[in-house]
Structure 1
Amino acid sequence: MKITMYHRTFPVKDAPVAVSLVPYAASQKHTYTANGKIYDAVLKEIQVVVPDDAKLDVMKNLLCWAGEKGPMKSTAREVYDFATAGTSGFKLA
């Protein structure tokens, strides 16, 4: 099954990166200051393949699914890391 994740970073070296399972609020403006210059966030949507039985808990921003060792819950960062590493059941689409 595919889900959409939301990726936020800034166009400068070593800037922080954030990922979310729910969209960022359109009313929020995110900025980052480096070397005396202010950068606006760059937002993009990423399609990620996750296990077929996965469910989103949007209130807690978690992905829940049945793993080999029972029920699993992962944060958006963990899901993104699983997908980029190609962990079983996860990949970037």
Structure 2
Amino acid sequence: MQITLYRRSFAVAGSPVSHSFVPDHAGQHHTFTAGGQVHEAKRREVAVTVPDDATVNTLRHLLCWRAKSKAVRSTAQEVFDFAVAEDQGFSVAKG
């Protein structure tokens, strides 16, 4: 099954990067100050393949899925890390 993660990052080395299951509100702005300059957040969607039994709980900001017959709950950042590592049946979708 494929889901979309929403990535927010800044074009500055060492700046924070975040992932979410829901997009930022259209009126919401995020900035990062480095070297006396203010940088606006860059947003992009990342398609991720997750296990077929996975469900997104947007209220709690978790992906719920099963691994070796036990329930697992993962944050958007953990899902992204699994996908990049191609671990536990996760992967970044080829687009």
TM-score normalised by structure 2 residue count = 0.95
- Aligned AA (2:32): Y
Aligned length: 93
Any idea what the Cα deviations from partners look like across 1:35-57, whole Å, max 9, x if unmatched? 00000000000000000010000
| Structure 2 runs not aligned, ≥5 long | none
Which string of whole-angstrom CA distances, capped at 9 and with x for unpartnered residues, describes residues 33-81 of structure 1? 0000000000000000000010000001100011114111000110000
TM-score computed with the length of structure 1 as normaliser: 0.97
Aligned twin of 2:16: 16
**Aligned-residue CA RMSD (Å):** 0.7
5+ residue gaps, structure 1: none
Q: Counterpart of 1:52? A: 52
Deviation at 1:30, TM superposition (A): 0.3
Give every structure 1 segment of 4 or more consecutive aligned residues whose post-TM-superposition deviation is greater than 2 Å. Answer: none
